[in-house]
Structure 1
Amino acid sequence: MGKILGEYGYRTTAVKIDPYINYDAGTLRPTEHGEVWVTDDGGEIDQDLGNYERFLGLDLPRHNNLTTGQIYHTVIERERRGEYLGQTVQPIPHITDEIKRRIQEAGEGFDIVLIEIGGTVGDYENEPFLFAVKGMEREIGEEHFLFVLITYLPVPSHVGEMKTKPTQQATRMLSEHGIFPDFIVCRAEKDIDEVRKKKIQIGANVPTDHIISAPDMKTIYDIPLTLESENLGKKMLRKLGLNPRDNPDWAHWEQLVRRSREPINQIKVAMVGKYIEIGDFQLTDSYISVNQSLVHAGVAWDTRVDITWIDGNKFEKGELSLDYLDEFSGIIVPGAFGGGGAEGVMMAIRHARENNIPFLGLCYGLQLAVVEFARNVAGIEEATSEEFEDDSEWKVVCIQETQREVLEENRFGGSMRLGAYAAVLKKNTRVLELYEQSGRLREDEQRIHQLVENSHEAFRVGQLMLDRDKVVLERHRHRYE
């Protein structure tokens, strides 16, 4: 929806509301909640914000994500400072007022704000947020506000009929909060028919042309085109009393979608990680931003990137042969924490190095690449990372000094150095060449950094950019593409 409104000339931003008590998503297990999205200003956010950025073309700040934990934390801090002047601080109005303040703050400088309240209609934890947005509608005027219900229409396999009852129940429960959807977007396996639309219209009192079909698509990037096929953008603007500022031009977007659907080329990439399997299922959302980066790169080169997710433990346990990796065009090891499962991942990294398979290590993957190189090339057989063994004398990757006190006090939440930072890249390196080709260099932000000498004289890796906070390593002569 934000992409569509942007095509009509309106500067649109998005706010994601997560009703959990956690302050942010930083301490949530990827296998439970999916990947943590890190914003440019260092926020640790629900992965949905990453999708917002990809569609809107914006770098959204951390304050565009609200959690119950943040709201209560702010209100309690203000109460402790005496800012409420002796009032009895309560969910209404103090909590709901803070919710409204945060939403208004996020919307400054934009024409339209999309507010997503996460969870399911009927969740108790959503009550304050529903009350707050209903209050905002009253305060700014209903002509400047509209409600969209995203609902799912299941097709039970033993029945074979699309069911509308969950949608009808959702609208009924919303009405108990004084919220009546202006639009209902219906997620389903296939397009909803007129019979189903009529049922929803009667039960929800929503015009049939405001009941929008959103069937399963090959890619999420098909969705704006599907919604626009029912003129959702114009209908939303009409409800808000706005006229289109621009005529949407979907030609470039359609080309990107065509490339993602029907690419000329195809490659296979192995993603070797820790947070891959949970029970009998694979949770690829644990690395969704890496996944989407590969999709985007593939579209740019008119290439489909087939990603195979591999749990590194399978190599260590002998459940999977390392030779299996030979059929891939490249191997990526994404982020993770802790020593569990690290040996299997390092086996994959060693195989990539010894067999000249293009390799990219991100964060945790870079750590393990350094440890693997130290063990098997530099001859430091007991090389490790301080993250895995803090008492080892053969640590080739060490914890930042600024983090030691944090870890000693078990302050894990909100303690990492995160976000976008300027970096200095060494000349005549592949990584510098790649950034130059993509136009991502900003020389005005470059600073000179002192290289840190490794304590083990026998161990040297090609250092492209290295200071106490930032590391990029490149192994010379190793095939990259």
Structure 2
Amino acid sequence: MARFIFITGGVVSSLGKGLASAALGALLQARGFSVRLRKLDPYLNVDPGTMSPYQHGEVYVTDDGAETDLDLGHYERFTGVPSRRSDNVTTGRIYQTILTKERRGDYLGGTVQVIPHVTDAIKEFVLADTDDTDFVLVEIGGTVGDIESLPFMEAIRQLGNDLPPQHAVYVHLTLVPYIPSAGELKTKPTQHSVKELRSIGIQPNIILCRCDREVPEGERKKIALFCNVRPENVIQALDVGSIYEVPISYHAEKFDDRILDAFGLSAPAPDLARWQEIHRRWTQPEGEVTIAIVGKYTGLKDAYKSLAEALYHGGIANNVKVNLEWIESETFEKEDAVAHLEEVDGILVPGGFGYRGVEGKIAAANFARNHRVPYFGICFGMQIAVIEAARNLSGLEHASSTEFGPTAEPVVGLMTEWVRGNERETRSKDGDLGGTMRLGAFDASLKPGSHAAGIYGTTAISERHRHRYEVNINYVPRLEQRGLLFSGLSPDGQLPEIVEIPDHPWFIGVQFHPELKSKPFDPHPLFASFIKAALDQSRLV
């Protein structure tokens, strides 16, 4: 039977529970165990699919088409275990399930309550499909004391009693702040956070202290005394230079040892060779490149979390440092793109929704094409590249997307149907927004001899999608006559998946999101190739 590790957070948000969970999962893997990671999100949205990136950061998409929390991206990048729809649940989804049952009469007229109905639904989610896994790590979103997280806290408290002895361990991540005026670290916030946790019936086994400097032994003993844990189970989580150094840092602090002790288990020392090699490449690069990311959510880097990490993975693959220059696309609607892009080694236009900043992205694609700078367009970035080429190469001066309103030249239009496996899926223009895009993994066929096929080393690929607009297949012949090559199509030949310019050093747009499958120990081939092209570009300057 699986053993469960519940990770809660206290004092403040954004301490890194997701990274802590992912790094611990990687350490347990390195000791020979199988792991699965899950996230409980307390907000009332059914999923983050309709939330603004400024509110929530990026939406991470799984192979099976779930729109999930960005922490699931950390889980995959650190462990390589593909996340599933069953690995992320929100309060909204829990209540949606319960209310559907109530309307159907499943509760036989009984009063539906938070306890036991909501907590039972949460426990059912936590326990589902875990029999073939050694450890299930469950991160609870938010901060202890938040009113919306109470049902989740109660559910994991109950699980501590429901599961067999030594099958549940609680890890509490807190902040130990340094007060410059006092010249010391303060343990009181951690004490109060643990007090709040214990007041709802959860005694943490391990306290993970986020801090920017060493926590002296005296302070650790103080935390242990006031929080009712053993001194060796007060573990510091120091700031490090890269998130991929975290597994190494945690092992140095014996975090994984203490976890196994709490379960009464032993295991061989972890094999951290791949993490040490990643760390070496990160700290000892043999060169550097600068990539401009021209987007519309650049004010919040978490909106492009997987994208940034995939670019870093491309740097790891080429043993170079990748500098990211975040540029708000609206800038190019007021200023000349040359002033901002002439010094960069590569240009990437990521996904996005809506008309704001579109003309600036088109200007970036135009600059990359004309100045022969490596260009990578992802999802919306591919559509932008096609619209730019339609206007400036094919003479379609009114080329646009129906996403922005009626247009005489709908080079990009709304999809209303597509094929998933043997099933045809349909959507309505006036339908709900949530969960209605083309979501999840879809196959694509690449043209033999194309640049894309050469990069992948195959003509059959599967990539994750999240979009509802698509390049109009009817414009493909005219665009190909003017120098574009649609080198990737859906298996039925109806949906363009990859476009490239064969006589350009590196100009590729993809309708899918390759960043979602990239890992530091297995960089996505498109990102590795793009960074290699950027490195070649830097040597030309």
Shorter-chain-normalised TM-score: which range? over 0.9
- Counterpart residue number, 1:269: 291
Q: How far is 1:468 from its partner?
A: 3.7
Whether the aligned pair in 1 keeps the contact of 2:347 and 2:368 (CA below 8 Å) is yes
Q: How far is 1:99 from its partner?
A: 0.5
Q: How far is 1:392 from its partner?
A: 1.2
Distance in 2 of aligned mates of 1:440 and 1:316: 38
Distance in 2 of aligned mates of 1:350 and 1:217: 39
Whether the aligned pair in 2 keeps the contact of 1:15 and 1:106 (CA below 8 Å) is no
Following TM superposition, the consecutive aligned residue runs of length 4 or more in structure 1 with deviations greater than 6 angstroms are none
Q: How far is 1:458 from its partner?
A: 4.2
Whether the aligned pair in 2 keeps the contact of 1:2 and 1:14 (CA below 8 Å) is yes
Summarize the alignment of residues 6-25 of structure 1 with structure 2, pairs less than 5 Å apart.
6-25=29-48
Distance 1:457 1:420, change over 3 A: closer
Distance 1:146 1:44, change over 3 A: same
Note if 1:385 corresponds to 2:408: no
Q: How far is 1:165 from its partner?
A: 1.4
Distance in 2 of aligned mates of 1:144 and 1:28: 36
Whether the aligned pair in 2 keeps the contact of 1:400 and 1:469 (CA below 8 Å) is no
Distance in 2 of aligned mates of 1:94 and 1:203: 35
Note if 1:181 corresponds to 2:208: no
- Counterpart residue number, 1:249: 271
| Structure 1 residue corresponding to 2:370, chosen from 349, 354, 369 | 354
Whether the aligned pair in 2 keeps the contact of 1:385 and 1:395 (CA below 8 Å) is yes
Q: How far is 1:197 from its partner?
A: 0.8
Q: How far is 1:292 from its partner?
A: 0.6
Distance 1:127 1:400, change over 3 A: same
- Counterpart residue number, 2:500: 474
Q: How far is 1:55 from its partner?
A: 0.7
Note if 1:428 corresponds to 2:449: yes
Distance 1:126 1:163, change over 3 A: same
Whether the aligned pair in 2 keeps the contact of 1:31 and 1:276 (CA below 8 Å) is no
Distance in 2 of aligned mates of 1:471 and 1:384: 18
Distance in 2 of aligned mates of 1:472 and 1:237: 47
Secondary structure of residue in 2 paired with 1:17: strand
Q: How far is 1:196 from its partner?
A: 1.9
Q: How far is 1:252 from its partner?
A: 2.2
Distance in 1 of aligned mates of 2:392 and 2:279: 44
Q: How far is 1:368 from its partner?
A: 0.6
Distance in 1 of aligned mates of 2:312 and 2:429: 40
- Counterpart residue number, 2:241: 218
Secondary structure of residue in 2 paired with 1:380: coil
Distance 1:37 1:457, change over 3 A: closer
Whether the aligned pair in 2 keeps the contact of 1:406 and 1:412 (CA below 8 Å) is no
Q: How far is 1:173 from its partner?
A: 0.3
Cα deviation digits, residues 129-182 of structure 1 (max 9, x gap): 111111111011341111000111222344442221111111000011110110
Whether the aligned pair in 1 keeps the contact of 2:331 and 2:360 (CA below 8 Å) is yes
Q: How far is 1:6 from its partner?
A: 1.0
Distance in 2 of aligned mates of 1:422 and 1:40: 11
Q: How far is 1:405 from its partner?
A: 8.0
Distance in 2 of aligned mates of 1:92 and 1:312: 49
Whether the aligned pair in 2 keeps the contact of 1:271 and 1:307 (CA below 8 Å) is yes
Q: How far is 1:407 from its partner?
A: 5.4
- Counterpart residue number, 2:383: 367
Q: How far is 1:194 from its partner?
A: 1.3
Summarize the alignment of residues 158-173 of structure 1 with structure 2, pairs less than 5 Å apart.
158-173=181-196
Q: So what's the TM-score if we normalise by structure 2? A: 0.82
Cα deviation digits, residues 424-477 of structure 1 (max 9, x gap): 1011111111111xx79569xxxxxxx974258643331112344452111121
Q: How far is 1:406 from its partner?
A: 4.5
Residue range with higher mean Cα deviation, 361-370 or 185-194: 185-194
- Counterpart residue number, 2:311: 294
Structure 1 spans left out of the alignment, 5+ residues? 278-282, 444-450
Whether the aligned pair in 1 keeps the contact of 2:315 and 2:322 (CA below 8 Å) is yes
Q: How far is 1:231 from its partner?
A: 1.7
- Counterpart residue number, 2:411: 396
Q: How far is 1:8 from its partner?
A: 1.4
Distance 1:208 1:174, change over 3 A: same
Structure richer in strand, relative to its length: 2
Higher relative contact order (CA 8 A, sep 6+): 2
| Structure 1 residue corresponding to 2:479, chosen from 447, 452, 459 | 459
Distance 1:457 1:231, change over 3 A: closer
**Number of residue pairs aligned between Structure 1 and Structure 2:** 464
Distance in 2 of aligned mates of 1:106 and 1:358: 44
Distance in 1 of aligned mates of 2:73 and 2:198: 31
Secondary structure of residue in 1 paired with 2:108: coil
Q: How far is 1:207 from its partner?
A: 1.4
- Counterpart residue number, 1:335: 351
- Matched residue type, 1:250: L
Residue range with higher mean Cα deviation, 30-39 or 322-331: 322-331
Note if 1:229 corresponds to 2:252: yes
- Matched residue type, 1:2: G
Whether the aligned pair in 2 keeps the contact of 1:154 and 1:163 (CA below 8 Å) is yes
Secondary structure of residue in 1 paired with 2:289: strand
- Matched residue type, 1:258: R
Distance 1:352 1:452, change over 3 A: closer
Whether the aligned pair in 2 keeps the contact of 1:426 and 1:465 (CA below 8 Å) is yes
Cα deviation digits, residues 32-57 of structure 1 (max 9, x gap): 21111111111111111000011111
| Structure 2 residue corresponding to 1:345, chosen from 352, 361, 375 | 361
Note if 1:306 corresponds to 2:323: yes
| Structure 2 residue corresponding to 1:418, chosen from 439, 453, 469 | 439
Structure 2 spans left out of the alignment, 5+ residues? 1-23, 419-424, 463-470, 507-532, 534-541
Distance 1:441 1:162, change over 3 A: farther
Distance 1:199 1:272, change over 3 A: same
- Counterpart residue number, 2:119: 96
Secondary structure of residue in 1 paired with 2:235: strand
Q: Percent same amino acid among aligned pairs?
A: 39
Q: How far is 1:253 from its partner?
A: 1.5
Q: How far is 1:243 from its partner?
A: 2.2
Distance in 1 of aligned mates of 2:374 and 2:84: 34
- Matched residue type, 2:377: G
Q: How far is 1:409 from its partner?
A: 2.4
Note if 1:316 corresponds to 2:333: yes
Secondary structure of residue in 2 paired with 1:408: coil
